[in-house]
Structure 1
Amino acid sequence: MANVLRAKAGQAVVLFNGDGNEYSAQLFEVAKRKVVVHIDSKISISIESPLSIHLGQGISRGDRMEWVIQKSVELGVSEITPLITERCGVKLSQDRWSKKHEQWQKLAIAACEQCGRNVLPTLHTPRLFADWISSSTNQVRLTLHPRAEKAFRHVSIPPAGARLLIGPEGGFSDQEIYQTEQNGFQTIQLGPRVLRTETAAITAISALQAIHGDL
């Protein structure tokens, strides 16, 4: 507020803290390392999608993972779990995974600010692929796969929503696909073209929201 936006005392702002409300406020004091606001009122506004989507995303190298987190938050997912898969190209120590998670959390908060969401989606710490696919859920389980026969329009979504699984840039191994099927996941395709992992995530979420959500 102070160093980038150059905000001045008396300026009106809107705050959020993830509790599902917005807070109308005015800047009272603006200093280099401190900004003080006076909150005027609490406003109950919800722009959350009626469709709950839990994205299980295979971790990719570079900025692909950051792109997926940012855009999936904008598109209204309720949960994101970064997954360590067989072909995961990112190998980090536990401390570095924690720092990476903090970085992704900041991206998610910034994406909420940009798109106007006042409820932060849950961003889980990185988890092993096998642990995540075997965890209990009432959501329909979907795996994106270019050779699948079923499309999103043919999927029935229960009230609990959808658990969407997308692989890293190298895709899933045959063994991983077999494991998903053994754990109740249906394979779904997005047409005849093979999409990059970040394109696949954004397209799949958009398709679910368009057919079953709020697009």
Structure 2
Amino acid sequence: MPARIFVDTPLHADSAEISLPAAAARHVQVLRLQPGHSVLVFDGRGGEWQAEVTHMGRSEVRVRLLARHVVQRELSHGVHLAVVMPANDRMDGLVEKATELGAASIQPLMAERSVLRLSGERAQKKCAHWLGVAVAAAEQCGRTQLPLVHPVQNLASWLAQLSPDSSQRRWLLSPGAQQTLATALPQPGTTTLVLSGPEGGLSPAEEAAALARGFTALALGPRILRADTAPLAVLGTLSLLGADGV
């Protein structure tokens, strides 16, 4: 299968030959592709282009767009993850796997018991890094759309900004909840928003605030999953079910 290359610029039929942005050019150079080699190019907005390398230089790589393929590899309904960031770079793996499993967006959060706390320029750099992780995962797994990686927010502020949405399923992952994911799946909804806490869990006040915003508390089983495992378990289940819950 040809290498898949993400290009952070809109691709059009009239863009017969394009110079790849620096990151994409480096990717092609690392693969040691030469003029005449086939590649698949996508811009993260849906669909992908069959293309051919036409020029390989030290500072410039050009490809010719040949044909656009309309492909659909997204979940039928959007699944959005709101995760209190796990520590020790575990967020990298979470973003990677969430991209592979089809997450529509990822909202990094900080809560009362957060170990990882980011703000200012450091938070911006981390989000840019996580977007790069998502790009690499999308290139590998065949996605033609990238998940949105939102700026880091405090949980309380983020909850306060949520608008009422009766068509959206909102799930709060809570080990002590009486309801389980299996019993919640048949609920109707066009999108699903999954809120997951940090290593020490959300505080009782934070859980109460989430419930007041329309979240339903769900348990995932008898075992306590890591902060980076729990949201992926839900996303994986919805991915296998097509995100419809049925």
Same fold per TM (> 0.5)? yes
Structure 1 counterpart SS, 2:145: coil
Deviations 1:101-149 (A, max 9, x none): 1001101111111110001111111112123223013411101111111
Instruction: Look up the match of 2:50.
Output: 24
Structure 2 counterpart SS, 1:3: helix
Equivalent residue letter for 1:196: R
- Give 5+ residue unaligned stretches, structure 2: 1-26
Distance 1:133 1:212 in 2: 27
Distance 1:26 1:171 in 2: 50
Instruction: Look up the match of 1:131.
Output: 157
- The ranges of structure 1 where at least 4 consecutive aligned residues each deviate by more than 4 angstroms after the TM superposition are none
Equivalent residue letter for 2:179: K
Distance 1:158 1:140 in 2: 7
TM-score (norm 2): 0.82
**Kept after mapping to 1: 8 A contact 2:118/2:152:** no
Distance 1:188 1:71 in 2: 21
**Kept after mapping to 1: 8 A contact 2:238/2:244:** no
Instruction: Look up the match of 2:229.
Output: 199
Instruction: Look up the match of 2:211.
Output: 181
Q: Does 1:61 align with 2:87?
A: yes
Distance 1:16 1:211 in 2: 26
| Percent of residue pairs identical | 34
Instruction: Look up the match of 1:143.
Output: 172
Give 1:212 deviation, angstroms.
Answer: 5.3
Distance 2:222 2:154 in 1: 29
Equivalent residue letter for 2:172: T
Distance 2:53 2:241 in 1: 42
RMSD in angstroms over aligned alpha carbons?
Answer: 1.7
Matched residue pairs, number? Answer: 215
Instruction: Look up the match of 1:75.
Output: 101
Distance 1:51 1:202 in 2: 16
Residues 160 and 111 (structure 1 numbering): CA distance in 2 closer, same or farther, change over 3 Å?
Answer: same
Give 1:45 deviation, angstroms.
Answer: 0.7
Instruction: Look up the match of 2:7.
Output: none
Give 1:211 deviation, angstroms.
Answer: 4.1
- Give 5+ residue unaligned stretches, structure 1: none
Equivalent residue letter for 2:169: V
> Which of these residues, 55, 69, 72, is aligned with residue 43 of structure 1?
69
Equivalent residue letter for 1:25: A
